[in-house]
């Protein structure tokens, strides 16, 4: 039985505070790392840790009370998302409540500066939060994610598992004790010497014998072994993808599809398509439909703007679609990027015959790739072989696309074109078909005057792209200003469709530039809209839907975000020298 001196205190946890939006991806990925090291029960993050219907504030106080350290993630939108707001001035702001409670508890509080966000100045914070600026901060950057996270985990270990660290130190001391004791012993003194003593004679004979043995060994030594064959180089696109900006890579994947020499002879690829799909941190969903031996073949690239969001998406996604029942897994040789492959079956129905599926999912830095092979017959050998081949082909194509992408960062608008040049180019024709969302046709481009035009708007007008779809109305508009300052000033106002009321917001992560999206009501329609500040240009996307329409509102929200991504891709293309 253990003595009372061996009793240990209950294990303490980790509390993660973050602001929804810019740092959500980093928070989720950090939660996964910490949960793997300390156990999910010891890591608190509101979304994962609070049951539906529970009192949010009460649960936060309970979680902080049982934690040994609080991590406060600070991104560039931690203080404000717009020039005219100061989020922490609101006493009910959850980030303020979390940070204030953690500081008052006396526990260690570590500020985590995400993507080189600056530490706020004391005068920017409420009085109760100012002690945060005196805490030693750690950094978290996508480009050195593994290093920063491992450093953070070591710091957390010392704070919440000190007994484990102490046990490790005591073990080291015990191990080293015997060596020190032995080192204290002294060799006996020699008794005296005589010329050609027995000891000297024996030593001389031993030296001669050793020399003879060494000579014999040298003469009989076999030739050195042949060096081992070099290990085959594993196929990977990670380093190539990590070296380029996600916006530029997404544009390259959309404009340059998979060529006929990049895939098997019995498979052909269609032009890439931008999918109207959303996920936190997603820049673009680029689908490449394939035609070949199977009813449904495709390679889908999900391009994210940061590694944590891509890693989290990879960890929670299955290779198989939800409509298939998993029947097993298989592995692919020669691939260095993290990959998981599954086989599955969809049962026959009154309208569809049974299908078999062999799919793989692989992650290369900020890109998660899906490779899907289906068949109307259960031919696992053929299905696995084709899925493996297409997975290698998908990684090669991604690596080539990244290698051909400019290493320059996303342009810090206005970039290389003057506002007047950009306006002329926007008026000269619609966006490249390659960057338009799937199912959206070529728009009509027109120039319209603006009533009570904001200061600095060129010609007092905007460039409109009107799409002809089944919706009540879908639009993409470009407002080009004489300067970035004029554009920012207008973006900071209460932008919304004229005469509308504000509804729920839409996740707008994944844009390299400042963006906000939301829903608005204006009888007889519900409008999903996004506003993107791209230097001296403000791009606005709108997808209108009748209030009585039977189609899901989510379709319009996804389309509004996709059209806003089209605007960014179009501006990057036009801004190239």
Residues 111 and 259 in one domain: no
Dist. CA 446–CA 452, nearest whole Å:
19
* Nearest-5° Cα angle at 226, 221 to 232: 160
Q: How far apart are CA 247 and CA 559, in angstroms?
A: 18
| Closest CA relative to residue 395, chosen from 335, 313, 464, 328 | 335
- Contact by Cβ (8 Å): 396, 369: no
State whether 34 and 147 are in the same domain.
yes
Question: Same domain for 374 and 460?
Answer: no
Domain end point (choices 163, 182, 200): 163
Does 377 fall in a domain? yes
Q: What is the CATH number of the domain that holds 529?
A: 3.40.1000
Specify if 194 maps to a domain: no
Same-domain check for residues 535 and 565:
yes
Please tell me whether residues 466 and 536 are part of one structural domain.
yes
Among 131, 163, 195, the domain-final residue is: 163
Residues 454, 386, single domain; the answer is no
Token pair of 539 as six digits: 């791009």
Q: How many domains does the chain have?
A: 3
Residues 482 and 518 placed together within one structural domain of the fold: yes
CA atoms of 389 and 292, how far apart (whole Å): 13
| Domain CATH number, residue 104 | 3.40.50.10140
Same domain, 33 and 156: yes
Q: What is the pTM of this model?
A: 0.65
Domain for residue 348, yes or no?
yes
Instruction: Answer yes or no: do 423 and 547 share one domain.
Output: yes
The enclosing H or E element of 246 equals helix 246-255
Please indicate, yes or no, if residue 329 is contained in any of the structural domains. Answer: yes
Per-residue pLDDT 10s for the chain (577 aa) are 444 444 556 688 999 999 876 687 888 888 888 988 888 889 988 644 555 555 667 778 888 888 999 999 998 888 886 666 788 888 878 889 899 999 998 999 999 998 888 898 888 899 999 999 999 999 988 778 888 898 999 999 988 876 655 555 555 555 554 444 443 444 444 444 444 455 666 666 667 776 766 666 665 556 666 666 565 678 999 999 988 888 889 999 999 999 999 999 999 999 999 998 888 889 999 999 999 888 889 999 999 988 888 988 998 899 998 889 999 999 999 899 999 999 999 988 888 888 999 999 999 999 999 999 999 888 888 999 999 999 999 999 999 999 998 876 654 555 678 899 999 999 999 998 889 998 888 899 999 999 989 999 999 999 999 987 666 678 999 999 998 889 989 998 889 998 899 998 888 788 877 888 999 999 888 999 999 988 889 999 999 888 776 666 678 899 999 999 999 989 988 887 6
CA atoms of 540 and 515, how far apart (whole Å): 10
Residue 168: inside a domain: no
DSSP string across 471-500: SSEEEEEEEEBSSHHHHHHHHTS---STT-
Sign of the CA dihedral 50, 56, 59, 60?
positive
- Phi, psi dihedrals of residue 436, rounded to the nearest 5°: -80, 145
Q: 468 with 370, same domain?
A: no
Evaluate whether residue 209 is within a structural domain. Answer: no
Quick one: the chain helix, strand, coil %, rounded to 5? 40, 25, 35
- For residue 384, what are the contacts with CB-CB under 8 A and spacing of at least 6? 330, 341, 343, 358
**What is the span of the domain harbouring residue 480?**
419-575
Residue 493 lies in a domain: yes
Domain termination site, one of 105, 128, 163: 163
- Claim to verify: residue 450 and residue 569 sit in the same structural domain: yes
Q: CA torsion 79→481→485→573, rounded to 10°? A: 60
List CB contacts of 487: < 8 A, sequence separation 6 or more. 456, 479, 481, 533, 535, 536, 537, 538
425 and 346 assigned to the same domain: no
Q: Confirm whether 172 is domain-assigned.
A: no
């Amino acid at each position: 039985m253990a003595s009372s001196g061996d009793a240990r205190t209950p294990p303490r946890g980790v509390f993660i505070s973050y602001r929804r939006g810019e740092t959500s991806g980093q928070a989720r990925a950090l939660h996964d790392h910490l949960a793997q090291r300390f156990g999910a029960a010891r890591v608190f993050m509101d979304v994962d840790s609070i049951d539906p219907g529970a009192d949010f504030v009460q649960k936060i106080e309970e979680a902080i009370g049982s934690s040994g350290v609080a991590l406060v993630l600070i991104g560039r939108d931690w203080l404000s998302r717009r020039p005219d707001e100061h989020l922490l001035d609101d006493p009910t702001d959850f980030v303020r409540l979390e940070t204030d409670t953690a500081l008052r508890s006396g526990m260690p509080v570590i500020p985590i500066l995400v993507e080189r966000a600056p530490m706020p100045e004391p005068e920017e914070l409420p009085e109760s939060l100012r002690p945060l600026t005196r805490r030693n901060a750690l950094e978290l950057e996508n480009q050195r994610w593994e290093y920063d996270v491992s450093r953070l985990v070591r710091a957390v270990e010392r704070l919440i598992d000190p007994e484990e660290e102490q046990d490790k130190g005591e073990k080291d001391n015990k191990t080293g004790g015997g060596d020190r004791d032995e080192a204290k012993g002294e060799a006996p003194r020699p008794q005296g010497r005589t010329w050609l003593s027995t000891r000297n004679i024996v030593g001389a004979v031993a030296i001669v014998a050793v020399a003879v043995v060494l000579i014999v060994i040298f003469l009989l030594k076999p030739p050195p072994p042949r060096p081992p064959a070099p290990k085959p180089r594993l196929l990977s696109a990670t380093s190539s993808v990590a070296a380029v900006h996600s916006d530029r890579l997404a544009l390259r994947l959309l404009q340059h599809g998979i060529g006929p020499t990049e895939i098997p002879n019995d498979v052909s690829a269609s032009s890439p398509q931008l999918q109207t799909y959303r996920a936190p941190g997603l820049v673009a969903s680029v689908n490449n439909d394939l035609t070949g031996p199977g009813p449904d073949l495709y390679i889908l690239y999900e391009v994210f703007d940061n590694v944590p969001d891509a890693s989290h998406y990879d960890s929670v996604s299955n290779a198989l679609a939800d409509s298939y029942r998993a029947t097993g897994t298989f592995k692919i040789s020669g691939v260095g990027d993290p990959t998981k492959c599954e086989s599955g079956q969809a049962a026959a129905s009154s309208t569809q015959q049974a299908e078999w599926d062999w799919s793989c999912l692989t992650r290369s830095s900020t890109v998660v790739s899906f490779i899907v092979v289906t068949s109307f017959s259960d031919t696992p050998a053929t299905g696995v072989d084709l899925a493996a081949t297409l997975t290698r082909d998908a990684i090669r194509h991604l690596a080539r696309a990244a290698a051909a992408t400019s290493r320059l960062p996303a342009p810090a608008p206005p970039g290389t074109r003057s506002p007047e040049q950009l306006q002329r180019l926007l008026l000269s024709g619609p966006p490249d078909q390659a960057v338009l969302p799937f199912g959206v046709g070529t728009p009509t481009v027109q120039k319209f005057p603006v009533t009570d035009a904001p200061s600095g708007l060129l010609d007092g007008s905007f460039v409109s792209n009107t799409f002809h779809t089944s919706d009540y109305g879908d639009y993409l508009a470009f407002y080009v200003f004489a300067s970035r300052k004029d554009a920012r000033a207008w973006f900071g106002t209460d932008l919304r469709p004229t005469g509308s009321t504000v509804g729920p917001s839409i996740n707008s992560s994944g844009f390299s530039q400042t963006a906000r999206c939301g829903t608005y009501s204006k009888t007889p329609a519900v409008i999903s809209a996004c506003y993107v500040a791209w230097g001296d240009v403000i791009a606005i996307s709108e997808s209108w839907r009748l209030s009585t329409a039977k189609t899901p509102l989510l379709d319009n929200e996804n389309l509004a975000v996709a059209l806003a991504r089209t605007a960014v891709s179009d501006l990057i293309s036009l801004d190239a020298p």
